Amino acid sequence: MKICFVAFPLEKNLKAKEELERKYGSVEPEKADYIVALGGDGFILKTLHDFLKIKKPVFGMNFGSVGFLMNNYKLEGLEERLINAQLTNLKPLVMRTLTPTGKEIKAIAINEISIRREKYQAAKLQIIVDGEIRMEELVCDGVIVSTSAGSTGYNYSASGPIIPLGSNVIALTAVSAYQPRHWKGGLLKDNAKIKITNTNPSKRPIVAHADHIESKDVISVEIEMSNGLEIPLLFDSDHKIEDRVYREMFKSN
Amino acid sequence: MKICFVAFPLEKNLKAKEELERKYGSVEPEKADYIVALGGDGFILKTLHDFLKIKKPVFGMNFGSVGFLMNNYKLEGLEERLINAQLTNLKPLVMRTLTPTGKEIKAIAINEISIRREKYQAAKLQIIVDGEIRMEELVCDGVIVSTSAGSTGYNYSASGPIIPLGSNVIALTAVSAYQPRHWKGGLLKDNAKIKITNTNPSKRPIVAHADHIESKDVISVEIEMSNGLEIPLLFDSDHKIEDRVYREMFKSN
Amino acid sequence: MKICFVAFPLEKNLKAKEELERKYGSVEPEKADYIVALGGDGFILKTLHDFLKIKKPVFGMNFGSVGFLMNNYKLEGLEERLINAQLTNLKPLVMRTLTPTGKEIKAIAINEISIRREKYQAAKLQIIVDGEIRMEELVCDGVIVSTSAGSTGYNYSASGPIIPLGSNVIALTAVSAYQPRHWKGGLLKDNAKIKITNTNPSKRPIVAHADHIESKDVISVEIEMSNGLEIPLLFDSDHKIEDRVYREMFKSN
Amino acid sequence: MKICFVAFPLEKNLKAKEELERKYGSVEPEKADYIVALGGDGFILKTLHDFLKIKKPVFGMNFGSVGFLMNNYKLEGLEERLINAQLTNLKPLVMRTLTPTGKEIKAIAINEISIRREKYQAAKLQIIVDGEIRMEELVCDGVIVSTSAGSTGYNYSASGPIIPLGSNVIALTAVSAYQPRHWKGGLLKDNAKIKITNTNPSKRPIVAHADHIESKDVISVEIEMSNGLEIPLLFDSDHKIEDRVYREMFKSN
């Protein structure tokens, strides 16, 4: 079994990486059967982004608090865990933004694509779904389009619904809607093609994020679920992500 | 084409029914190709319930405001409309309640199953999903389990998400959760088996409704999507229910 | 110092009452300087209601979890605690309901007055504030009018705001508003005179509660803050109710 | 009667200003009895800020849609309207921010003071009220502290409560709270001294606004209601701001 270890540069992670490499060896990502990532949720997410193209299954481990995308850290028994791990293929969103200079930026989001006002003035957004103008003007702080995997994060904080893994919907969630007042958004089919246009980009600039990938001063943002691209993520079988989504949903706050 | 007309007993409906029957004839429901129902959303819903077993497609028409499950009233051209209508098969929920005397009541819900406290004291509910206790004790006014078709109704009023037709999720929405405070619920896969148990039925009685069908003083409520049963509903093709769900979602309040 | 002890009839409370009476003596409520109540929040609330007219300061004590209106139980040092206690005068609400038979019921609420549908059909309510119709028709599960003391309870569960003690506002909070959709209510000046009328009492009966005092099938409910009536409640000075309201407000859920 | 006219530089406003000045004359602000401002809500707010120090009553007029702080435009009868107008003294908030270079910025807010994350990372804020740490760490998009006058604006969009004019509370409203999840904030007494500190300013910079006045990269923000400063605003007596707050509260969305 060939493993490639990556670690978020904190001392404990780097030390663990050393120990793991001593025990299991280490190969280049391209030659690996598995990528094992040591760090928090943010780092796992970054690792998934980094290795999107080589399509190797990623197994995250962390010390202390075990985040949403991770497993417990243990030095021993890693090969067995990898063999027995449950594979979850996350379907990411694709974001295409247009900037005032006509530049198009494309980025992938495993969790969510968010749009946010950059200035004091509320954003004014037009929302098109599958070619149809569904909202002429949403005046708001911003908007989130979230996958199931991302639904327990920013989407949930903004009062969007938690979506179970394996469902065919994505969440469109508004943040602080001024007009229509208290508009919350809703769910869309996961094959929906969404286009969000800034109706007043000079006075009311907006920034878009595909996970952590930033695109500033965008004129429009097109969002759809990736057709084909799947992101293989591994979980200890007593610790499945489906279950974590439910646990998050039923948590006491 | 054989049509069976039914009408909510208001004068205008009864008069329209007469005119329609004069023009198109009328047959018993069992012999009809189509059921045409004249009345509001509540009446269409009732008609769907009444004709569950004979599985005839229902086409609702209404004067004035056209509700969620209906089409515009017109005397002329009905046969053409029926032929060209879009068929939507709604998948209902099945509710099985247990009463203190051990009686089991079974009922079908096209829109939602709701549970509500009957007295001053908040309800104390345990929630089991697919055999697993997901919430030991929810202290609340009540809980709603809603289909997509029902999601724009009571579920939405209680801040549950609007679910597009054709998705594979149902909404579990809490009403006025006292503990866990502000718990909102979430989405479940539509094959989830839900069991909600009243943990204190003597002091804190609850009532359950499958749409309008009431079951008082229930000890427990089991809910799952019907396996097999589908309810055929017809819409003018320029007036599809999928579209109405979206329109409701993006409406200005 | 003359104390009257009352206890919620659980063994531990009754035993504690006995010990306290042996140590401090006990007098009739009318002759007491202080009422000391042993029990939970619900019992303290009931005690406050029971002794409304004799206007004696009430000091609540409880074992185990110390609720909102209570202090810790201790046998020793009670007289000193009472002398040093901080006095908070709660201003209750007065509810006047009208039933179909023309009967008027008057009741006092220290926490909140709530109105709730009795049946499957949503309530349809008209809201008048200070003689002006502010809402022609609210279609909803119910409505809560809450004092500051009650604002952390049912009001907060229904997403109403927590109101600090000593402020001059009360909360009007809607539960599951269907129309206007997602209407949340707001704050009113504490001298507001509110009248809520059931616009369809035969089809859509409602029940009103002033704290636990029930009034069924009401036609209308008039609510205003009591003019003059104040309810004296005592707290250990390191455990003030003002502070508890804030603690509740900033709690982690 | 000496009037000073100011106008937002749109043609219609400037033309109206000319006509008004021809009819009523015009003086320097310092010598005026009244400031009459022509423009929308934003401009009236700016005018109030501009003339804070000279304490002259401001009367706003607008064409078309009449915003929250304004009256209808009419050329005739202005002097009578001013004489009969109802005076409302708004009590503003004072914001004091500290920047990393130790610079202190002070600004006045008539509507609200808002704090917002500048980057992708959620803000991490500590909240102190009256010298007491009330929240160790709020992870969120931002926080709003709103006066009654501002409560119908950004505060309301972020699900904060609408506060009637003349009450002694201010709203502290959280935007997209990630931790504590769904924390909404609450009401504080209007003499509360609030201090909000950025616990991670290097990684998670925040920007503060007192109405439109921006203060970037702030380390901490101190907020309290101004002691003494009052802002005189005039309304036609059939169009009082108290009433507008209520109208906004009971509006259909």
Tell me how close the Cα of D79 comes to any Cα of chain A, in angstroms.
Answer: 35
Longest dimension (CA), chain A: 59
Asked if A182 lies within 8 A of D176 by C-beta distance, the reply is no
Question: What is the average pLDDT score of chain B?
Answer: 94
D177 interaction partners in chain C (CB closer than 8 Å): none
Tell me how close the Cα of B184 comes to any Cα of chain C, in angstroms.
Answer: 11
Q: Please check whether residue B159 is in contact with residue B168, taking contact to mean a CB–CB distance below 8 angstroms.
A: no
Pick the residue of D156, D159, D187 with the most C CBs within 10 A to test the interface with C by mutation: D187
Extended beta strands in D185-237, E state: 185-189, 194-198, 206-210, 213-215, 220-225, 231-235
- The torsion angle over the Cα atoms of residues B81, B82, B84 and B90, rounded to 10 degrees, is 120
pLDDT digits (tens, 9 = 90+) for D100-159: 888 999 999 999 999 999 999 999 999 999 999 999 999 999 999 999 999 999 999 999
Task: Please compute the mean of the pLDDT values over residues D3-17 and round it to a whole number.
Answer: 95
Q: Which two tokens stand for residue D20?
A: 């008004």
pLDDT digits (tens, 9 = 90+) for B62-80: 876 667 788 999 999 999 9
Asked if D120 lies within 8 A of A214 by C-beta distance, the reply is yes
For strand C112-117 and strand C142-146, is the pairing parallel, antiparallel, or unpaired? antiparallel
pLDDT of B253 above 60 = no
Q: Which two tokens stand for residue A88?
A: 């979850």
* DSSP 8-class letter at C122: P
pLDDT digits (tens, 9 = 90+) for B88-127: 999 999 999 999 888 999 999 999 999 999 999 999 999 9
| D96: nearest Cα among D200, D5, D219 | D219
Instruction: Specify the DSSP element, H or E, that contains B59.
Output: strand B58-62
| Per-residue confidence in pLDDT tens, chain C, 253 aa | 999 999 999 999 999 999 999 999 999 999 999 999 999 888 999 999 999 889 899 999 987 666 778 899 999 999 999 999 999 999 999 999 999 888 999 999 999 999 999 999 999 999 999 999 999 999 999 999 999 999 999 999 999 999 999 999 999 999 999 999 999 999 999 999 999 999 999 999 999 999 999 999 999 999 999 988 999 999 998 878 888 888 889 987 5
B209 interaction partners in chain C (CB closer than 8 Å): 120
pLDDT digits (tens, 9 = 90+) for B225-249: 998 899 999 999 887 888 888 888 9
Phi, psi (rounded to 5 degrees) for D175: -110, 120
pLDDT digits (tens, 9 = 90+) for D40-71: 888 999 999 999 889 899 999 987 666 778 89
Extended beta strands in B71-189, E state: 71-72, 86-90, 93-98, 104-109, 112-117, 123-129, 132-140, 142-146, 169-175, 185-189
C-alpha separations of A159 from A155, A181, A201, D42, D44 in Å: 7, 15, 27, 29, 33
Q: Which two tokens stand for residue A35?
A: 């990528």
Distance, in Å, from the CA atom of C242 to the CA atom of C90, rounded to the nearest integer, reads 11
Q: How far is CA B31 from the centre of its chain?
A: 26
* DSSP 8-class letter at B49: H
Please, which pLDDT band fits residue A66 given cuts at 50, 70 and 90?
Answer: low
Distance, in Å, from the CA atom of B109 to the CA atom of B148, rounded to the nearest integer, reads 12
For strand C34-38 and strand C58-62, is the pairing parallel, antiparallel, or unpaired? parallel
Q: Given a contact as 3+ CB pairs under 8 Å, which chains touch C? A: A, B, D
Distance, in Å, from the CA atom of A62 to the CA atom of D84, rounded to the nearest integer, reads 70
Q: Which two tokens stand for residue A218?
A: 């965008």
* Annotated active-site residue in D33, D41, D190, D217: D41
Buried b or exposed e, range D119-136, using 16+ CB within 10 angstroms: eeebbbbbbbbeeeebbe
* pLDDT at residue D251, rounded to an integer: 86
* pLDDT at residue C98, rounded to an integer: 96
Q: Where are the alpha helices (DSSP H) in B104-161?
A: 154-157
pLDDT of B163 above 70 = yes
Distance, in Å, from the CA atom of B100 to the CA atom of A11, rounded to the nearest integer, reads 61
Extended beta strands in A9-70, E state: 34-38, 58-62
Q: Does residue B57 have a cis peptide bond before it, meaning omega lies within 30 degrees of 0? A: no
> Which residues of A are the active-site residues?
41
Residue of C nearest to B160 (CA): C176
B253 interaction partners in chain D (CB closer than 8 Å): 252-253
Extended beta strands in D83-179, E state: 86-90, 93-98, 104-109, 112-117, 123-129, 132-140, 142-146, 169-175
For residue C88, how many other CB atoms are within 10 A of its CB?
19
| C41 is annotated as an active-site residue | yes
Q: Which two tokens stand for residue B49?
A: 């319930």
What is the residue-wise DSSP string for A133-145? EEEEEEEESEEEE
A189 interaction partners in chain B (CB closer than 8 Å): 164, 166-167
Asked if A180 lies within 8 A of B251 by C-beta distance, the reply is yes
Query: Among all chains, which residue has been given the structure tokens 């691209």?
Result: A229
* pLDDT at residue A91, rounded to an integer: 94
Residue of C nearest to D173 (CA): C161
Phi, psi (rounded to 5 degrees) for A61: -135, 145
Tell me how close the Cα of D75 comes to any Cα of chain A, in angstroms.
Answer: 32
Please, which pLDDT band fits residue D214 given cuts at 50, 70 and 90?
Answer: very high
Residue of D nearest to A153 (CA): D178
* pLDDT at residue A228, rounded to an integer: 85
Residue of C nearest to B143 (CA): C176
Identify which of D140, D177, D253 has the shortest CB distance to residue A182.
D253
Please, which pLDDT band fits residue D227 given cuts at 50, 70 and 90?
Answer: confident
Longest dimension (CA), chain B: 59
B252 interaction partners in chain D (CB closer than 8 Å): 253
Please, which pLDDT band fits residue D253 given cuts at 50, 70 and 90?
Answer: low
Residue D182 forms contact with B (CB below 8 Å): yes
Residue D170 burial (10 A CB sphere; 0-12, 13-18, 19+): buried
Please, which pLDDT band fits residue A237 given cuts at 50, 70 and 90?
Answer: confident
